[in-house]
Amino acid sequence: MNYLIFAFIIIILTVILFYCLMDIYNKVVTLKNYTEKAFANIDVLLKQRADEIPELVNIAEKAMLHQNSLLLKLVQSRELYFNYHQTNQKVEANNQITDYLQQTMSVIENYPELQALNSLSKLQKRITLLEEKIADRREFFNESVALYNTGIQTFPNLIFAKILGYKPRIMLGSGIISE
């Protein structure tokens, strides 16, 4: 009789443990999927902004001969963005693009002959509009990343995350570009 009670308690505890582990696994997977969805929502806009870079470089390189290293870094960051497939890599490349784009726009302000170009004005407006849309989605993405990172770094989720190879995600940097 004691043996049956002991076996029954072990079975109950095993079932409870199984359901707890299943719940933890489902939470970690859900958080991962939310970050992927959030990035997919912003990735379209990031690609559109990256597609504007060649035109910006074409307009700017004629007048900014001694700033070619900055333009080259901008183009290289764009190429990295399109070559990367993992979210963290794309986020890092995007953060570089944002930095170099801000620097380029700041330098362009020092060239009145560029400022006078209608094509540059239109391009700046398109980039600024994209930046505003990106900013709206960036907040959602970064919130998803914060929840995911917290979820995989807290106990007991940490154990499952390590076993499954889940790593922290990188947040998108703020990219405020003015006209």
Q: Quick count: other Cβ atoms within 10 Å of Cβ 108?
A: 19
Q: Which domains does the chain have, with CATH numbers?
A: 31-137 (1.20.1440.20)
Cis peptide upstream of residue 54 (ω within 30 degrees of 0): no
Q: How many alpha carbons fall within 13 Å on the CB side of residue 113?
A: 6
Q: Which of 58-62, 65-69, 96-100 has the lowest mean pLDDT?
A: 65-69
Q: What is the pLDDT of residues 79-115, one digit of tens each?
A: 999 999 999 999 999 999 999 988 888 888 887 777 7
End-to-end CA, the chain: 82
Q: What is the pLDDT of residues 19-59, one digit of tens each?
A: 999 999 999 999 999 999 999 999 999 999 999 989 888 87
